[in-house]
Amino acid sequence: MSSGKRLWRWRSSPLRRREDVIEAWIVLAVWLVVVICGGVAALVTDRSAEHEFAEQRTHRHPVSAVLLADARHGVTADWSTDGRIQGSVRWKAPDGSARTGRTLVDGGLKTGARVTVWQDDGGRLSPSQPTGRGEGHVEAALFGAAAALAVAAPAFGAGALARARLDRRRMAHWDQEWDLVGPQWGPRTG
């Protein structure tokens, strides 16, 4: 398609209607929103997720803990995706004090079993180990793509609605003009 055909709505023409110019501006505005705002949203979200994952890696540390009760095999936590269950554990905080809490552990372990848990700098249990560097890059990119889509979808939707209204207006004007010109071409049939 030649550039002249793509830009026909911007050129002066006796066939160009007001709706054509409005549509051209709408298409331009939608693409600017999608490219600029979507790109900014993707970049900001990606950087924010990368920063959060880096913070997790910096402030979560593995520590050895002791299981305080048997972890029954076959009974998983409601929200566990890897089949682990909630279990009570005891571990030492960075200041040396003993702490107890509940975290996900493998099923089938007996009381006194050693498990690895993750704690933050204050000695509180973290729900999981931090996201690894490679996995973090992938997740951050996916979050960025989702943010760009969250910006682009409403912009495309609004543009499509506006163009549909313009099409209805164009058809109504065409009907009005045909009602004026049509009888001049001869008698109607039917």
DSSP of 83-149, one letter per residue?
S-EEEEEEEE-TTS-EEEEEEEE-TTPPTT-EEEEEE-TTSPBPSSPPPPHHHHHHHHHHHHHHHHH
Distance CA 8, CA 15 (A): 10
Share above pLDDT 70 across residues of the chain, in percent, rounded to a whole number = 86
pTM over 0.95: no
Q: In angstroms, rounded to a whole number, what is the distance separating the alpha carbons of residues 136 and 2?
A: 43
Is the pLDDT at 76 greater than 60? The verdict is no
Alpha-carbon torsion angle 158, 162, 168, 172, nearest 10: 160
Which of the pair, 59 or 7, is modelled with greater confidence? 59
User: Alpha-carbon Rg of the chain, whole angstroms?
Assistant: 31
Provide the terminal-to-terminal Cα distance of the chain, rounded to the nearest Å.
41
Distances (CA, A) of 130 to 119, 145, 159: 10, 22, 41
The three-class DSSP label of residue 66 is strand
| Measured distance CA(76)–CA(80) in Å, rounded | 7
pLDDT band at 177 (very low <50, low <70, confident <90, very high): confident
pLDDT confidence of residue 13: 73
Q: How far is CA 45 from CA 20, 42, 94, 154, in A?
A: 36, 5, 33, 18
